[in-house]
Structure 1
Amino acid sequence: MNADLLNALAPAAALIGIIAVGGWIFTTWLRVKHGYPLENSWGKAVYPKTSDEAMERVKLISQENAQLRAELGSVKDRLAVIERIVTDEGNRLSHEIEALRRPAN
């Protein structure tokens, strides 16, 4: 009878073990994806070692970020001019254009 009970519970125990390991892998993946530090068995954070390659990548990304910020500032300035032109009264804009067309004395 003991062997029959053990044979009946073995698949369920194996399934529970597989689900537990899969859940652990999934939660670890989520932590890595969202930037949480990994922990060792004692609960202390395990940080990846910094290498020269990683530092170079951070430096390049920082430079690219600065370039993109400068470009974004330029685009914002141009957009402000376009918004002023579009929302400006048509009469005033046409007067300014005509004033530019007249020869200066």
Structure 2
Amino acid sequence: MNFDTINALAPVAAIIGIMAVGGWVFTTWLRVKNGYPLDGAWGQAVYPKSSDEAMERVKLISQENAQLRAELGSVKDRLAVVERIVTDEGSRLSHEIEALRRPAN
């Protein structure tokens, strides 16, 4: 390569470098603005530090998760009953219904 080629490629390399740094700054700004944690060189969280607000948010999400799991469990139980009703023989089902209608002695 001669000196003229290097002089011609230098501005292109500088523009690419500036665009890369600008893109990194922009994505970092977006992450901070929207509350996403930033990672350091070794993957440790740099920002935001754990705060009371973040802990409260985790607590609320955990509670909602527990409620949804309980609801999912009841839906699964109901689905199992519906599947049993649909797949059972008609005569057995009618016997069980009649047994439920009779008063317990």
- TM-score class, shorter-chain normalisation, is 0.5 to 0.7
What pairs with 1:1-105 in structure 2 (closer than 5 Å)? 6=7, 8-18=8-18, 20-21=20-21, 38-40=39-41, 43=42, 45-47=44-46, 48-97=48-97
**Distance in 2, Cα, partners of 1:17 & 1:81:** 63
Return the TM-score normalized by structure 2.
0.61
Share of identical aligned residues, percent? Answer: 74
**Distance in 2, Cα, partners of 1:79 & 1:44:** 43
Deviation at 1:103, TM superposition (A): 8.7
Amino acid at match of 2:85: I
Deviation at 1:19, TM superposition (A): 5.9
Note closer, same or farther for the CA distance 1:4–1:93 as it changes in structure 2 (3 Å cut). Answer: closer
Structure 2 residue ranges without an equivalent (≥5) = 29-35
Instruction: Work out the number of aligned pairs and report it.
Output: 95
Ranges of 4+ aligned residues in structure 1 off by more than 6 Å:
101-104
Deviations 1:7-62 (A, max 9, x none): x223321343146447857x98xxxxxx997124xx46234301111011011111
Deviations 1:59-95 (A, max 9, x none): 1111111111111111111111001000101232234
Give the 3-state SS of the residue equivalent to 1:68 in structure 2.
helix
Deviation at 1:5, TM superposition (A): 5.2
Relative contact order: is structure 1 or structure 2 higher (C-alpha 8 Å, sep ≥ 6)? 2
Structure 1 residue ranges without an equivalent (≥5) = 29-34
Return the TM-score normalized by structure 1.
0.61
**Distance in 2, Cα, partners of 1:77 & 1:94:** 21
Supply the RMSD in Å over aligned alpha carbons: 3.8
